Amino acid sequence: MTTERHEAASPTRPESTVLGEVTGMLQEVLGEYGFTDAEITMGTRFHDDLELESIDLVTLSTALREHYGDAVNLAAFIADRGLEEIIALTVGDLVHHVVASLSAEPAAEAV
């Protein structure tokens, strides 16, 4: 990565970029079910719209870590909200979590 990180105002990855990246990961997970042309937007619900079950979110979590590093921790994000909240989770919730985690990272390292 060539971008220089600034402590006071770290460069924020745009939501649209993260949505594109997350969409790619989701399509890979969905591909296992032969379900490849699903339209994915910020409002898409993992459970109701994509019929993902919790083990699919484990796969997604692994993909997120491989792509973004340890700063993005979906396990802890969901654990803080409670297991039953998985049902209401949207792609937008995840995108916001990724953006927030990545922009918080340099500050956390500075502590």
Q: Which residues bind another protein (CB under 8 A)?
A: 47-48, 51, 53-55, 57-59, 61-62, 73, 75-76, 78-79, 82-84, 86
In whole angstroms, the minimum distance from the beta carbon of 55 to another protein comes to 4
Q: Which is nearer to another protein, 75 or 107 (CB)?
A: 75
Q: Give the amino acid at 74.
A: L
Name the amino acid, one letter, at 18. Answer: V
Provide CB contacts within 8 A for 83, sequence distance 6+: 54
List alpha helices for the chain, DSSP H. Answer: 15-31, 54-68, 74-81, 91-110
Tell me the closest approach of the beta carbon of residue 18 to another protein, in angstroms: 21
Q: What's the closest the beta carbon of residue 110 comes to another protein, in angstroms?
A: 17
